[in-house]
Amino acid sequence: MSDKFDVIIVGAGPGGYVAAIRCAQLGLKTACIEKWVDDKKKPKYGGTCLNVGCIPSKALLDSSHKYVEAKNDFDVHGISVKDVKIDVSKMIDRKDGIVTQLTGGITGLFKANGVTGIQGCAQLQGGRKLEVTDIDGKVKIYEADNIILAAGSVPVEIPPAPLDDNIIVDSTGALEFREVPKRLGVIGAGVIGLELGSVWSRLGSEVVVIEALDSFLGMVDQQIAKDAKKILTKQGLDIRLGARLTNAKVVKKGKKSTVTVQYTDSEGDKEQVFDKLIVAVGRKPLSESLLSKDSGVNLDERGFIFVNDYCETDAPGVYAIGDLVRGPMLAHKASEEGVMVAERIVGKKTQMNYDCIPSVIYTHPEIASVGKTEEQLKADGDAYKTGVFPFAASGRAMAANDTAGMVKIIACAETDRILGCHIIGPSAADLVQQIVIAMEFGSSAEDIALTVFGHPTLSEAVHEAALAVEGHAIHIANRRKRK
């Protein structure tokens, strides 16, 4: 005996729960399967993003930034604050409260939209059937005309640094420290490593970031990446590039444990002792146990599910979205794929513009980008022009005492169409969205240059960068003058 739905979504992260709500809005009988549970054994929605990823990490980033700002930066405003302290447990509790509120909110949204929540771990069988094993080990079969796989991803584990209780941890464990480690090692100088390293560095940890690659933030425009490394190093992050981890071992001395890390760089073999070690070398799709042999869905060599531009798998009526498929592992990318699939199921011709997906690193200053980098354009042999404006010349940034960074706009040399935008600076995550919208409508740099921006605002830096593309910036000396 099986339960039949129009659509079943596997996974209730930012891709899955959004897809479920949109399917229900479109009149489809919808169910969403989630394996995570709360203390009452009921589904706990939100996936990695809401529970142990985007949201909790941003809560800690905001708390730690306010602490370091009060400690170091209020004096310039004439504000005297003495004996600034951080209650780490209270900070963690606040983070947990935000998570509880948001995950509970999804439960309410499911109820309001008529989505059926199902607790269990699902495996796709042939013929669009799902075998679901609940927390008590009971197995039930569900069927649907359409299935959307949105199981997400998990942190990559590496043999030289096996996770060990709360000493060697992944990104999830790094959100739960109840005291500030004196010495903290971070393996990986990517988004997660830099964000979590920043949190604990601000609170007093001596943070060493060990990165195997010789380049810093290789996926970021390198003019921005160079500025980022300079700023983050000044803030206290000891970033060691070209350093390959060879071993990490927990050493216990009485009640205290440390971790000895061995790595190799251009100077040879080295060793360092930390109180905690965060392994943040990336994530991999959670596809291993998701598919039966007769599911009809195929994977590539890295475990990603093969899909076309509309997220259709090789099995008719089966879709896959988010971290399970090609493209950046970003919550907003997963959400929009979920909406696209839901609408295509009911016959709409909805598409996604994969050239206009922004990405953000929530250090301070933030690092945000959309579109092509200079390095990519050079590699493709495309002619381009750039405009750069520093926040040091922004009146609003000066007033806020937040002047580090720049806005960089890249446009086609022939058509002036915007090809990319890269920002490091205050509110970069919000500022880049202006260019995302502009690129979605095929705007030129001149379109932005001719747009009226409010004064004084941080967004004026975007306006000035667009003016600088043709050497027309007003508030900096231009590299070239044009009529």
Other residues' Cβ atoms within 10 Å of the Cβ of residue 444: 17
To the query of whether residue 77 is one of the catalytic residues in this protein, the response is: no
Smallest CA-to-CA distance from 154 within 262, 284, 264, 281 is with: 284
Opening angle at CA 108, ends 192 and 344, nearest 5: 75
Q: Which amino acid is at 365?
A: P
Helix H or strand E encompassing 431: helix 428-440
**Tokens encoding 79:** 């504000």
| Tokens 């910036």, located at residue | 473
**DSSP labels for 293-316?**
TTS---B-TTSPBP--TT-B-SST
Contact indicator for 432, 368 with CB cutoff of 8 Å: yes
Question: CA-based Rg of the chain, rounded to a whole angstrom?
Answer: 24
Say which DSSP state 304 is in: P
Mapping DSSP to helix (H, G, I), strand (E, B) and coil, where does residue 184 land? strand
Question: Hey, CA dihedral for 329, 332, 408, 402, is it positive or negative?
Answer: negative
Residue 89: is it exposed, middle or buried by C-beta count within 10 angstroms (0-12/13-18/19+)?
Answer: exposed
Mapping DSSP to helix (H, G, I), strand (E, B) and coil, where does residue 361 land? strand
Smallest CA-to-CA distance from 25 within 345, 324, 318, 316 is with: 345
The residue from 455, 463, 472, 475 that is catalytic is 455
Mapping DSSP to helix (H, G, I), strand (E, B) and coil, where does residue 305 land? strand
**Tokens encoding 19:** 């897809």
Phi and psi for 347 in degrees, rounded to 5? 100, 0
Q: Where are the alpha helices (DSSP H) in 255-352?
A: 331-345
Terminal CA-to-CA distance of the chain, rounded, Å?
A: 75
Smallest CA-to-CA distance from 341 within 43, 111, 35, 30 is with: 30
> Which runs of E-coded beta strand occur in 215-291?
238-240, 244-253, 256-265, 268-274, 276-279, 283-285
What Cα–Cα distance (Å) separates residue 445 from each residue in 220, 359, 476, 479? 21, 20, 17, 17
The span from the CA of 324 to the CA of 318, in Å, is 13
Annotated catalytic sites, by residue?
A: 455
